[in-house]
Amino acid sequence: MKDIQNARRIERACRSIETQEPAPSLATLASAAGLSPAHFQRVFVAAIGVSPKAYGVAHRQRRLREALRTSRRVTDAIYDAGYSANSVAYRDSAVLGMAPGQISKGGANETIHYCVTRSSLGPLLVGITSRGVCAVEVTTLEEARDSLQKRFPRALIEKADPKKMRWVKEVVACVDNPSRSTDLPLDIRGTAFQTRVWRALTTIPRGQTLSYSEVARRIRAPTSTRAVAAACASNTLAVVVPCHRVVGSSGKLTGYKWGLDRKRSLLQREGVSVSTDMQVSQADRAR
């Protein structure tokens, strides 16, 4: 009964954050839920995976992205998204991955270098920005450029120059031998929750697996198993961000963006015994 009550409280709080401008304070949300601010914060983070403030920022960022793609002026889009000042929107741009002005132009003024090369998993798209590797996807040559163009509709998409080829080779080496270590610079772009999940995935040791629920517990969001699965499915950095190391609660292989056969192959290369009774890591089971 208590869990149901908390779920309803959190749902009402999320709707308040999404519909009120400015977003209600922690004290206001806690009072409406009939809880102390500290208790409400713990319950909210456990259910959603981020704090009420971070949830509000992420929601505002999503609205900003949508508004920037249709508004004529950046300033109009910023205020329509619920920001009180331009400076606040630009402060949040670090999480957005690019400044609001760039988003409004669909990635204009940003250059993304790409290369489609062979790998043991099939044709591999590697996308690179000035900040690092932004895309690693198993895709066909015909679909590769379109994939980047959809994410960055007005960015300049160019084939990787020789100076960037070292990164491409390192990505392929990582895909072909996922047990090797890599120190590639990554340009990871996602919501606050997605970023937390993806960072957690990079800490799973090679040769080990975790269930979606275990990943949820690692990021201190134990009730967010489905959201963790959705974040894994949204990963655009195959193998480099190792979502293939996440399995079902029973230990069985579950969905994989690039196909279960590839997931099985990657795990086997890392020395994981893939079977119907495949086990998750002993360390996390003990938690």
Q: Which residue numbers are catalytic?
A: 243
Q: How far is CA 33 from CA 39, 228, 260, in A?
A: 10, 26, 43
Count Cβ atoms below 10 Å from residue 62 Cβ, excluding itself: 14
Which three-class secondary structure state does DSSP give residue 192? helix
- Residue 93 tokens read as 């741009």
Q: To 10 degrees, the CA torsion angle through 189, 190, 192, 193?
A: -130
The number of angstroms, rounded, from the C-alpha of 160 to the middle of its chain's C-alpha atoms is 24
| 92 within 8 A of 99, measured Cβ to Cβ | no
| 23 within 8 A of 198, measured Cβ to Cβ | no
- Residue 90 tokens read as 């630009």
Cis peptide before 242 (omega within 30 of 0): no
Q: Supply the angle between the helices 37-48 and 26-33 in degrees, to the nearest 10.
A: 90
Q: How far apart are CA 143 and CA 50, in angstroms?
A: 35
| 280 within 8 A of 214, measured Cβ to Cβ | yes
| 52 within 8 A of 17, measured Cβ to Cβ | yes
- Residue 159 β-bridge partners: 114
Q: What is the largest CA-CA distance in the chain?
A: 61
